[in-house]
Amino acid sequence: MEDYVSEMVYVRLEGGPQHMPPAMRDARASASDLKIKLEYYGGYEHFERVTTGDVDASPVVFQWTGRTRIAE
C-alpha cells in the first residue's frame, strides 16, 4: 500500500491575537486542511479556511474563529 502524501500549500492566518508574530501567520499546511489549530500562549488559536487557493498563486487564507484554553 502506498503512503498518501498530501500536497502542501502556503497559508496566511488572518485575525486573532494582534500580538501574534508575523512569522506565525505565514505557514505551510496540507492542501486538504479546512481548519488549523495553533498552540499559542497557553491556548489554541483556531482558524478556518476561507479561500481555496492555488498551489502556484496566493496563499490560502484561514480566518480566526476563536480560542480555547489548554486543559490541565
* 22: in domain: yes
Q: Would 2 be classed as within a structural domain?
A: no
Number of structural domains found in the chain:
1
- Does 43 map to a domain? yes
Q: Mean pLDDT in the chain? A: 86
**Does residue 3 register a pLDDT over 60?**
no
Assess if residue 12 is contained within a domain.
yes
49/37 Cα distance (integer angstroms): 12
* pLDDT > 70? residue 4: no
3 occurs within a structural domain:
no
> Which residues constitute the domain of residue 40?
8-69
Tell whether 60 is covered by a domain: yes
Q: Is 25 exposed, middle or buried (0-12, 13-18, 19+ CB in 10 A)?
A: middle
What's the pLDDT score for residue 1?
A: 42
Predicted local confidence at residue 71, as pLDDT: 81
User: pTM of the full predicted structure?
Assistant: 0.81
Cell of residue 22, nine digits? 508575523
The answer to the question of residue 1 being in a domain is: no
- High-pLDDT (> 70) share of the chain, %: 83
